[in-house]
């Protein structure tokens, strides 16, 4: 399958970065609006949690299907469809005053993200030559992600305070709509679909259902109770669906997820690294937001502003990764990023509680943010190594599916650890216990980041110390 050359590579990269900005922005922008949403719509804690969970379940469960669709139907088509669906879902969420419709809108946003993310990453890995051009594209794409995560917290506070919670949804409508329109001009047309390819409907149904149930069980496990029959029933159903999926894929003539891709060293390592990343670096936004508001007593707006230093330094880390990939190679860049991030997280945990002295946290936050930027960029470079151009979509879906599962599992376990021993406490005793619980969770997440170093060390010989500029395996069968 021939890949058309983009006529406007810089403008296309702008669209791809905007897609990641929207997905990352939506990940955090709703968090700060939740109390206002619950108050104005009279939503209880259970329904309020589903405003977050609906996005995660749909996004994590449909990523592999989105990757397959991108490979078969075309990356530009899926990009435009994902952006259009994101705009429609955001409009519905911003105009409704019904809790059920709001949860459905969040689920549609998750589905849109699942269509958009693999198509975006596959376009980068197929449209930009491996080496310096692709590394630069991934660095810009990564910077957009870092900006989206921090801007979400800040913008969510500003919009909710000045315009109401509806604005956190409506802000996506013009941005996503404009990207869907511009993609028709700035992203090259998709090549003719390959003959004889199919969607593998049975595989698509089982992996989507199994993935959704697994993410659901991990997200809802703490609120359901790990010992409750409901959790084990949903988990068992998820594992059965996934087992059936594996059987289907081994017998299918045109599988949804070619299991041979699991033998691709870079993709296999990237799948482990994405899970580690989400269970260590990404959970810091959750725990620090709680620490800033509930321990320091910061307002929503002040909490958003507190994340700006991390965003700026993370962007610096992305720039460092671009240079390190060219000079030191993939393996060394990953090791340095994970070491810096892990040590920074452990240092941050050791500094907590710090009696309201936010400035004391800036140095460890800077170190972990540099590691975060380096690791995020390098792990997605790793995911595309040795994968044929026509399978970049499903490979991206595989890595990002494991990313969501790792994030859901890590957050569930760490939240449980943070809240351990708080039953029966109140007042100052509760606040002190909660601060220590958050500290425990941060320290454990730092250990998870350092575990990622072992995955990087285990990279096979052809990826060890190999300069990305010299690497030429992408586009050829594994």
Do 178 and 250 lie in a common domain? no
On the CB side of 176, how many CA atoms lie within 13 Å of its CA? 28
What is the reported pLDDT for 461? 56
**Claim to verify: residue 459 and residue 373 sit in the same structural domain:** yes
Domain check: are 78 and 130 in the same one? yes
Whole-number pLDDT of residue 417: 87
> Does residue 341 share a domain with residue 204?
no
Three-state SS string over 321-371 comes to HHHHHHHCCHHHHHHHHHHHHHHHHHHHHHHCCCCCCHHHHHHHHHHHHHH
Inside any domain, residue 211: yes
Q: Is residue 436 part of a domain?
A: yes
Domain-terminating residue out of 131, 152, 186:
186
Q: Is the pTM of this model over 0.85?
A: no
Whether residues 36 and 182 share a domain: the answer is yes
Boundary of a domain, candidates 186, 216, 240: 186
* 477 belongs to a structural domain: no
Q: Are residues 158 and 298 in the same domain?
A: no
Q: Which two tokens mark 160?
A: 């909710």
- The pLDDT assigned to 475 comes to 28
Location of structure tokens 């108050």: 39
How many distinct structural domains can be found in the chain? 3
Residue 356 placed within a domain: yes
Give the span between the Cα atoms of 404 and 419, in whole angstroms: 22
Q: Are residues 178 and 292 in the same domain?
A: no
Does 454 lie in the same domain as 390? yes
Together in a domain, 275 and 423: yes
Q: Residue 356's pLDDT is what?
A: 59
Q: Which two tokens stand for residue 152?
A: 């979400």
Q: What tens-digit pLDDT sequence spans the chain (478 residues)?
A: 445 556 678 899 999 999 999 988 887 788 778 778 888 998 876 677 788 778 888 888 888 889 888 888 899 999 999 999 999 999 999 999 999 999 999 999 999 999 999 999 889 988 888 778 888 898 898 888 877 877 787 788 788 878 889 999 999 999 999 999 999 999 998 887 766 667 788 888 898 899 889 888 887 887 788 889 999 999 999 999 999 999 998 988 888 888 889 988 899 999 999 999 999 998 887 788 778 877 888 876 787 788 888 888 998 999 999 899 989 999 999 999 999 999 999 999 998 876 657 888 999 999 999 999 999 999 999 998 888 877 888 888 899 889 888 887 888 888 888 888 887 778 788 888 888 888 999 999 999 999 999 999 988 755 554 444 333 223 222 2
**Assigned domain for 468 exists:** no
Domain that holds residue 123: 1-186
Closest C-alpha to 116, from 144, 153, 151, 155: 144
6, 115: one domain: yes
Same-domain check for residues 47 and 173? yes
Which of 210, 228, 255 terminates a domain? The answer is 255
> Residue 473 has what pLDDT?
29
Burial code of 179-206, b = ≥16 C-beta within 10 A, e = fewer? Answer: bbebbeebbbebeeeeeeeeebebbbbb
Nearest CA to 445 out of 289, 298, 338 is that of 338
């Amino acid at each position: 399958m021939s890949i058309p050359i983009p006529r406007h590579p810089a403008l296309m990269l702008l669209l791809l970065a905007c897609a990641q900005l929207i997905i990352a922005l939506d990940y955090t922008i709703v968090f700060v609006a939740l109390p206002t949403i619950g108050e104005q719509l009279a939503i209880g804690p259970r329904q309020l949690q589903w405003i977050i969970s609906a996005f995660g379940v749909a996004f994590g469960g449909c990523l592999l299907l989105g990757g397959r669709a991108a490979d078969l139907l075309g990356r530009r088509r899926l990009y435009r469809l994902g952006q259009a669906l994101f705009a429609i879902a955001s409009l519905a969420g911003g105009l409704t005053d019904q809790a059920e419709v709001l949860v459905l809108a969040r689920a549609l946003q998750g589905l849109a993200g699942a269509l958009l993310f693999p198509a975006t990453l596959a376009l980068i890995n197929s449209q930009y030559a491996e080496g310096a051009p692709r590394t630069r594209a991934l660095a810009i794409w990564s910077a957009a992600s870092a900006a989206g995560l921090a801007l979400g917290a800040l913008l969510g506070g500003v919009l909710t305070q000045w315009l109401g919670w509806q604005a956190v949804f409506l802000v996506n409508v013009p941005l996503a709509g404009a990207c869907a329109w511009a993609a028709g001009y700035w992203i090259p047309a998709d090549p003719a679909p390959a003959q004889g390819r199919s969607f593998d409907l049975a595989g698509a149904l089982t992996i989507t259902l199994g993935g959704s149930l697994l993410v659901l069980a991990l997200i809802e496990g703490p609120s359901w109770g790990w010992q409750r029959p409901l959790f084990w029933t949903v988990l068992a159903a998820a594992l059965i669906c996934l087992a059936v999926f594996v059987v289907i894929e081994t017998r299918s003539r045109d599988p949804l997820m070619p299991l041979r891709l699991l033998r691709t060293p870079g993709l296999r390592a990237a799948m482990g690294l994405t899970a580690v990343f989400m269970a260590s670096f990404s959970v810091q936004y959750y725990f620090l937001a709680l620490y800033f508001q509930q321990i320091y007593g910061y307002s929503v707006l002040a909490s958003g502003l507190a994340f700006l230093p991390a965003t700026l330094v993370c962007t610096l880390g992305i720039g460092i990764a671009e240079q390190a990939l060219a000079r030191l190679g993939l393996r060394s860049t990953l090791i340095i990023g994970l070491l810096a991030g892990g040590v920074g997280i452990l240092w941050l945990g050791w500094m907590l509680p710090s009696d309201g002295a936010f400035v004391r946290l800036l140095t460890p936050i800077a170190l972990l943010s540099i590691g975060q930027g380096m690791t995020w960029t390098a792990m997605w470079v790793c995911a595309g190594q040795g994968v044929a151009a026509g399978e970049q979509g499903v490979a991206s879906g595989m890595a990002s599916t494991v990313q969501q599962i790792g994030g859901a599992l890590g957050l569930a376990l760490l939240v449980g650890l943070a809240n351990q021993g708080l039953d029966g406490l109140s007042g100052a005793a509760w606040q002190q216990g909660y601060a220590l619980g958050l500290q425990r969770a941060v320290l454990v997440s730092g250990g998870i980041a350092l575990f990622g170093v072992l995955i990087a060390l285990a990279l096979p010989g052809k990826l060890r110390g190999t300069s990305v500029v010299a690497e030429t395996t992408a586009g050829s069968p594994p």
